[in-house]
A and B are shown apart, each in its own frame.
Chain A
Amino acid sequence: MIDKVKKELDIRFPLLKLVREQHNYLHVKVAKASVVDAVLMARTCLGFTTLQLISTVDRLEDDVFQMTWILENQGACFVLLISADYPRENCIVPSLSQMWPTASTFEREIFEMFGISFPGNPREGEDFLLEGWKDMPPMRRDFETEEYSMRVFGERQPREHLDPRQYVGDIVGEWNTPMGRKRKEDK
């Protein structure tokens, strides 16, 4: 099976890159322009009729979202992963909801969590989990969790806290030297 899938994909998508393979698993990366073609081809010609999941990884360092469509050929017990990188800025990714109605749900979730838009998804923009969320989508890596929680929820209760390094220094009299070096916060 794996040889057949690789051969068929290789012929049609010369820019395809192999990420990882196992006996019943193949992960390939294609140019973003070829994603719909590749998925369509896998579905119609190679029997990958099930869409298991759409996954997103925020690769902030490379300034891209890595999208992965996980397809399955249940008859052959074979899983195919097709990935592509999309620029993070105003990210737009084609919707597969016309092929698989279930894609619509995945895409709604990704829109909510990462802000990636899927034009063509009939239910785009509908609340999924985060009802009434106004901020930056929270799964983006530039989302500041702590800043958000302090801004929205504030301090719950005054918290007691001691820094071990300063505390040990205070106890043993580290700053009690003849020259009297000052503790950091005293400076």
Chain B
Amino acid sequence: MKFTDVISPFLAWSRAVKKVDTIPYPKQQNPGADRYRGFHINDTEKCIGCGRCETICENKAIDMVKVEGVEPTQGDSGLRPKVDYGRCCWCGLCIDVCSTGSLGLTNKYSWTTEDPGSCRYTPGVDKKSWDNEEKGFRQDNDVLGWAGSPREEMEIETPEKRIENFDEVVKGYTVQQAMDEASRCIQCGLCISACPAHMHIPDYLKAIAEGRFVDAVKLFYDNNPLPEMCGKVCTRECETVCAMGYQGESIAIRWLKRFACEQFESLADVLALDAQPGEPNGKKVAVVGAGPSGLSAAYYLSRKGFEVHVYDRLEEGGGVAWYAIPEYRLPAKGISRQMEVFEQAGVIFNYNKDIDSKLLTELEGRFDAVYLAVGLQKPSDARIEGEDIPEVKPAFDFLMKSPEKGEKLTGRKIIVIGGGNVAMDTARTCVRLGADVVLSYRRRIEDMPADDEEIHEAMEETIDFRPKTIPIRIEKTKTGIRYFYHEAVMVDNPEGGRPLPRPRDDVEHTVDADILFSAIGQTSDIEFISEAMQKEMEIKWGRIIVDNHQYTGYKNLFAGGDITPGEGDVITAIADGLRAVQGIINRLK
């Protein structure tokens, strides 16, 4: 027998008088480690209810539920994750993939209850003692990069090359690029809430990701008969709310729409069975204006069995969106591809028809309903001294003449006033026609209403941007014109809103040029509506006020697009057309 064998029992007994090593819970708490994975917290303000946490959860511990006090808005489903702790295994995947980084795990892990059913709650909504706990496991997207990924880069022509011609600036995705880009979609559907036409975006992105391009096109046409146009010039509200955009880059929804349309020589063939006139119902509808709004109403009315006649003052369909947007953004080859679909669907077009009050009254008598989608026709006055000089021209009229198709530009030095898309298009078109362009805008570059992409591309194209310049007057000189302006400083607007430009000093700066294009907006021209008719409708600032179904309140007259108040973009116009279809169907029942 060893000595230790004799002494060990006594050594063991000595522990009886030592201090215990265990913690007297609950008198004393034992906090979790700093990055311990305990109970969930959620910043409900930051959370957008995309449901990604629910999708990743292997144990199906998370349910997206409606909660009181959080209403669905554009870009927020209003749903919030509810966690079932009977299932949660605290793996933390929900935290790693959270689109906005709103979800976290605290280092609190102790919760005693007699009812196992109560071990589930909606973090951030159901108040818990650990709601403000700083410690615990949080997302580190810089390391993992799971919550956001970069978008497939779109190849764009270099500025040096693109100013030499009117070829499209954007080169388009390859099949592999498009499928990769579309497969980044997490199918949360928040984009649908932001799209005015509520297109089936997650569904067509899934179709593209799986290489089902025909299905994608068919999905476009369910509520947008001009997908190629939208694929090129849409304002893409959908991308601004994309869940992937919070910690990575939003999905290139617009480019993918464009990609799917460009996979086919003929869209009419793809839609051979779908884009057909419906069973005739004996009703006739006139659509005035073959722009996006008029076309979308015409397409769906025809498919619903109405006899639809479209009237337009131009030679072709597509409206201002198609005529005035230059080739390098919206090439003409797409026009016939899309117009074929309308003809196949049975829409009857009457081009070169100037609309006046006589024709409108006649249409109103001959047809069961009339949809007015004439857009904004008249360039706004610049209200600058000297704007009646012949060298001062409306930019809108210049663009409508399709300068890329050979309309001569008389002059080498051009000034463009304005900061919207029309100003950018004019300036960039003039650069392509070999001119030196100065672009003058009253406010800062970040205040410009044009698309960021257009501004960015224009700045790359040798255009001399002069933001914060207030026009004073224009004078005629021997060789052309002289434009006078003040440099501006921005002051806060006492009524709120954007800061206002004010002259910095009395110094008058000048630019000499051959032509000045004013691009400060368009206004409506409603002279073609007779006074008697106007009295029956509500008209504000030259726009016709309509109800939810685009009804004007006068007989069977509906209106939509830019002639009614709204965002003034293509997709809103299309959405108006869709609503008008429903309104006309309801009214003519």
A162 and B79 contact, Cβ closer than 8 Å, known pairs A145-B58, A168-B190, A173-B198: yes
B582 at the interface (CB under 8 A from A): yes
A167 at the interface (CB under 8 A from B): yes
Structural contact, A165 and B187, CB atoms closer than 8 A: yes
A185 at the interface (CB under 8 A from B): no
Q: Provide the residues of chain A in CB contact with B193, threshold 8 Å.
A: 168, 171-172
A178 and B77 contact, Cβ closer than 8 Å, known pairs A161-B63, A164-B188, A164-B190: no
A157 at the interface (CB under 8 A from B): yes
Select A159's contact among B59, B84, B116, B301, beta carbons within 8 Å. Answer: B84
Select A179's contact among B77, B190, B222, beta carbons within 8 Å. Answer: B222
List the count of A-B residue pairs having beta carbons below 8 Å apart: 92
Q: B95 to nearest A CB, angstroms?
A: 18
Could you give, for residues 166-209 of chain B, a 1 whenever the CB lies within 8 Å of some chain A CB and a 0 otherwise? 00000000000000000000011110110000101010000000
A165 to B66: give the CA distance in the assembly, Å: 13
A174 at the interface (CB under 8 A from B): yes
A70 to B357: give the CA distance in the assembly, Å: 92
Structural contact, B192 and A169, CB atoms closer than 8 A: yes
Structural contact, B198 and A172, CB atoms closer than 8 A: yes
Task: For B301, give the chain A residue with the smallest CB separation.
Answer: A178
Structural contact, A177 and B578, CB atoms closer than 8 A: yes
A164 and B79 contact, Cβ closer than 8 Å, known pairs A156-B116, A173-B198, A179-B222: yes
Could you give, for residues 120-136 of chain B, a 1 whenever the CB lies within 8 Å of some chain A CB and a 0 otherwise? 00000000000000000
By DSSP majority rule, is chain A's interface helix, strand, loop, or mixed? Answer: loop
For B, the interface residue count at a CB cutoff of 8 angstroms equals: 40
B502 at the interface (CB under 8 A from A): no
A61 at the interface (CB under 8 A from B): no
Structural contact, B79 and A167, CB atoms closer than 8 A: yes
Could you give, for residues 144-187 of chain A, a 1 whenever the CB lies within 8 Å of some chain B CB and a 0 otherwise? 01100100000011011111111111011110111101000000
A165 and B198 contact, Cβ closer than 8 Å, known pairs A156-B116, A157-B117, A178-B578: no
Chain B 71-86 residues near chain A, CB threshold 8 A: 72, 77-79, 82, 84, 86
Structural contact, A160 and B190, CB atoms closer than 8 A: no
A177 to B225: give the CA distance in the assembly, Å: 12
A161 and B65 contact, Cβ closer than 8 Å, known pairs A172-B193, A178-B300, A179-B303: yes
Structural contact, B189 and A164, CB atoms closer than 8 A: yes
B581 at the interface (CB under 8 A from A): yes
Task: For B243, give the chain A residue with the smallest CB separation.
Answer: A164
A102 to B393: give the CA distance in the assembly, Å: 93
A176 to B51: give the CA distance in the assembly, Å: 24
Spell out B's residues near A (CB within 8 Å): 49-51, 58-60, 63-66, 72, 77-79, 82, 84, 86-87, 116-117, 187-190, 192-193, 198, 200, 202, 219, 222-223, 300-301, 303-304, 578, 581-582, 585
> What are 26 sample pairs from A and B whose C-beta atoms fall under 8 A apart?
A146-B59, A146-B60, A156-B117, A160-B66, A162-B79, A164-B79, A164-B188, A164-B190, A165-B51, A165-B192, A166-B189, A167-B72, A167-B78, A167-B189, A168-B189, A168-B190, A171-B193, A172-B192, A172-B193, A176-B582, A177-B198, A177-B300, A177-B578, A178-B303, A181-B219, A181-B222
